[in-house]
Amino acid sequence: MIGVMENSKIEQVEVERFKSLFLRGIAFIFWFPGIILMELPLNKLLMTIVAVISSVFGILFIYAAIKVFRVFRKIKGDQVLQQALMNEMYLSFDYKALVAGFYSTLFCVILLFLLSTFVDMPVRVVCLTIIYVSVVVTELRKFFLYRQ
């Protein structure tokens, strides 16, 4: 009976981790472009709309990040959860996601370098775009790996 309760607790925490990681990824995907667009010269109405939408998703991102932090603290605090949810399989998922993020960063740098020969782009927009692409690819890869 104890094993059944542990299994249901493990599944519950795994679902909670998956949902919080998904929420964090979605919030970042919609929050960070607002920061990038704020660097471009847009009209006041469009800037206001972008700022409001970005602020809402920024707050949602902070909430999701706190939720992810709490879930991982819960996992690290319980030996059974740690053995089940922080094992080699999940560590390999994290490493694979980081590798995908690294290669996407390299590809993005090369692409933006080639694009900069034809288009004059602000340095902050280029840097923020590189950060955005690397984080989004890492989060999406982690999401798809955890979903398996």
User: Under a CB-based contact definition with an 8 Å cutoff, are residues 138 and 101 in contact?
Assistant: yes
CA angle 125, 100, 107 (to 5 degrees): 45
User: Under a CB-based contact definition with an 8 Å cutoff, are residues 81 and 10 in contact?
Assistant: yes
* Mean predicted confidence (pLDDT) in 122-134: 94
How much is the pLDDT for 148?
Answer: 75
The pLDDT of residue 1 is above 50: no
3-state secondary structure (DSSP) of residue 61: helix
Tell me which residue of 71, 70, 61 sits closest to 17, measured CA to CA: 71
pLDDT, tens digit (0-9, with 9 covering 90-100), for 57-86: 999 999 999 999 999 899 888 888 888 878
* Mean predicted confidence (pLDDT) in 136-145: 93
Query: Distance (Å, rounded) from C-alpha 94 to C-alpha 31?
Result: 23
User: Under a CB-based contact definition with an 8 Å cutoff, are residues 108 and 134 in contact?
Assistant: yes
Query: Distance (Å, rounded) from C-alpha 98 to C-alpha 103?
Result: 9
For residue 52, name the pLDDT band (cuts at 50, 70, 90).
very high
CA angle 33, 108, 34 (to 5 degrees): 5
DSSP label at residue 87: S
User: Under a CB-based contact definition with an 8 Å cutoff, are residues 134 and 49 in contact?
Assistant: no
